[in-house]
Each structure stands twice: as structure tokens, then as C-alpha cells.
């Protein structure tokens, strides 16, 4: 199953399908212009992600860096259990924890 990104408006995106080694390059290309035009805070809903692996986590971190470079606060919501487990196993809870600083991810 492919992944794709739905732009709900200038402050909200929704990721559909897989966030895996196979789909992350396409998701990256699709998200780049949407993030470049987004308004802070940007909320990225992961609730309909069907499968994720470490490449999906790397993409989240990349989006945070993009946000930080633009002064954009990015919030991730509805993190799938599979992705949450990878975050914990990778020790990245601190990077993705709420901080209130632009470019930092908030997972709810």
C-alpha cells in the first residue's frame, strides 16, 4: 500500500497509508512544498498510517528539521503504536516531546 499526504488546510496535514522504506521518498517529495507553505503551528495527523518502520521515523525527524529551519512549530497527532514503539526504542522521546519551541515535535 502506498502512502500519501492530504493537505487539510495551511495548518493541517494527514498522512495516509504506509510510512516505510518503500514509501518515504514519495512522502518526502509530496510533503516538501506543503511544509514550505504551512502556517505555524503545523499539525500532522498520523492516525490513518497503516504501517511504519524506522524510515517513517526518520521522515518525522526530517520534517522537524524543516520546521526548525523555517521557525515552524510542528505537532504530530495520533501516533500509531508501531511508530511509538520505534520512537521509544530509538531513545527519541526527548526530541519528539512537547517543548513549545519552534521546530520541536509534539506527539499527542
Could you tell me which residue, 92 or 44, shows the higher pLDDT?
44
Q: Could you tell me the CATH number of the domain that includes residue 89?
A: 3.30.750.24
Residue range of the domain that includes 96: 4-107
pLDDT at 101 over 50: no
What Rg do the C-alpha atoms of the chain give, in angstroms?
12
pTM here is: 0.87
* Helix, strand, coil tally for the chain in percent (to 5): 35, 30, 35
Residue 91, pLDDT score: 87
Q: How many domains does the chain have?
A: 1
State how far the Cα of 80 lies from the Cα of 99, in Å rounded to an integer. Answer: 21
- What tens digit of pLDDT does each residue of 14-63 get? 999 999 999 999 999 999 999 999 999 999 999 999 999 999 999 999 99
Rounded-to-integer distance, Cα 7 and Cα 21, Å? 22
Q: How confident is the model at residue 100 (pLDDT cuts 50, 70, 90)?
A: very low
Amino acid at each position: 500500500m502506498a502512502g500519501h499526504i492530504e493537505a487539510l488546510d495551511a495548518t493541517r496535514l494527514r498522512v495516509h497509508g504506509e510510512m516505510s522504506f518503500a514509501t518515504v521518498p514519495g512522502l518526502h517529495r509530496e510533503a516538501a512544498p506543503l511544509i514550505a507553505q504551512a502556517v505555524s503551528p503545523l499539525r500532522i495527523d498520523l492516525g490513518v498510517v497503516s504501517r511504519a518502520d524506522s524510515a517513517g521515523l526518520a521522515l518525522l525527524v526530517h520534517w522537524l528539521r524543516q520546521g526548525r529551519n523555517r521557525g515552524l512549530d510542528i505537532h504530530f497527532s495520533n501516533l500509531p503504536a508501531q511508530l511509538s514503539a520505534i520512537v521509544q526504542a530509538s531513545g527519541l522521546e526527548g526530541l519528539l516531546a512537547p517543548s513549545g519551541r519552534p521546530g520541536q515535535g509534539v506527539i499527542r
